[in-house]
Amino acid sequence: MQDDILSVLYSEAEIKTAVARLGKAIKQDYQGKNPLLIGILKGAIVFMTDLIRSVDDFVEIDFMDVSSYGDAAVSSGEVKILKDLDTSVAGRDIIIVEDIVDSGRTLDYLIKLFQTRAANSVKICALLDKPEGRQTEVTADYIGLRVPNEFVVGYGLDYAEKYRNLPYIGILKPEVYED
Ligand SMILES: O=P(O)(O)OC[C@H]1O[C@H](OP(=O)(O)OP(=O)(O)O)[C@H](O)[C@@H]1O
Ligand SMILES: [Mg+2]
C-alpha cells in the first residue's frame, strides 16, 4: 500500500495538532449550544472520531452517507444520498464534518439541504481544503490544513475505496489512477 504513495503531505503528528486546534475552536464558539456534528461518510469517519474527542463539551453526532466520486479521481458532479440522518436538524446548530472540500459540490448540496430542513445554523468543519479544486462558492468555517491540487489519500480519504486506513495524508502516485 505504502508503495503507491508519492510523498507524505501531512504526518500523524501534524494532523493531531490541526484536529486539536479545531476542537478548541468549536468548544469556544458553541458554548451551551449542544451542536449536532454530522459526519459525511465514508471519508470523514477517521477525522470525525478524532475531532469529537478533541471538543471538551457536549456535542451530539449523526452520520449521512453521500457519494459523488464513486471509484473515480474526478467528481461525477452528481451527489447521491446513500444514507440519510436519523436526527431531525430543525432548529439545531449543525456542524458538517468533512474530510476534504475539493470542488465544493458535496457541501453546496448539503448546506442547501440542511437549510431547507430548517436548521438554526449550518457551519462546516473540514480537515482539508483544496482551494484550486473549487467549482462552487463554498468555503469551510473551520479548516485544518490546505492541500495542493493533487489527489490525496489517507486518514479516511480513498481512491477506489483503498488507502482510507493510512494514518497520514499522502499524495497518490498519478500512475495509480491514470491509465
Ligand atoms: O468537494 P467535492 O468535490 O464534492 O469532494 C469532497 C467529497 O468527496 C469525497 O467523498 P466521496 O464522494 O468520494 O465519497 P466517500 O467519502 O465515501 O469517499 C470526500 O469525502 C468529500 O465528501
Ligand atoms: Mg471517496
Question: Is any atom of ligand 1 closer than 6 Å to the C-beta of 75?
Answer: yes
Nearest CA to ligand 1 atom 21: 100
**Contacts (Cβ under 8 Å, ≥6 apart) of 125:** 22, 26, 37, 51, 95, 96, 97, 98, 140, 141, 142
Residue 57 annotated in active site: no
Q: Which of 102, 108, 129, 158 is catalytic?
A: 102
Could you tell me the pLDDT band of residue 133, with boundaries at 50, 70 and 90? Answer: very high
pTM of the model: 0.95
147-150's contacts with Cβ under 8 Å and 24+ in sequence apart are: 147/9, 147/100, 148/9
DSSP state of 92: -
Probe target for ligand 1 pocket from 38, 97, 100, 101, with the most ligand atoms within 8 Å of CB: 100
* pLDDT > 70: percent of the chain: 97
C-alpha cell at 148: 495542493
Residue-wise pLDDT for 90-121, tens only, equals 999 999 999 999 999 999 999 999 999 999 99
Question: Is any atom of ligand 1 closer than 6 Å to the C-beta of 129?
Answer: no
Q: Which atom of ligand 1 is nearest to the CA of 105?
A: 4
Question: Is any atom of ligand 1 closer than 6 Å to the C-beta of 67?
Answer: yes
Question: How far is the centre of ligand 1, averaged over its atoms, from the C-alpha of 89 (Å)?
Answer: 22
* pLDDT > 90: percent of the chain: 90
Question: How far is the centre of ligand 2, averaged over its atoms, from the C-alpha of 91 (Å)?
Answer: 30
> Do 164 and 154 form a contact (C-beta atoms < 8 A)?
yes
CATH number of 12-150: 3.40.50.2020
ipTM of the complex: 0.98
C-alpha distances (whole Å) from 38 to each of 65, 113, 144 are 10, 13, 17
**Ranges assigned E (strand) in the chain:** 5-10, 36-41, 60-67, 80-83, 93-101, 121-129, 142-146, 152-153, 169-172
Domain residue spans in the chain?
12-150
In terms of Cα–Cα distance, which of 97, 88, 82, 80 is closest to 144? 97
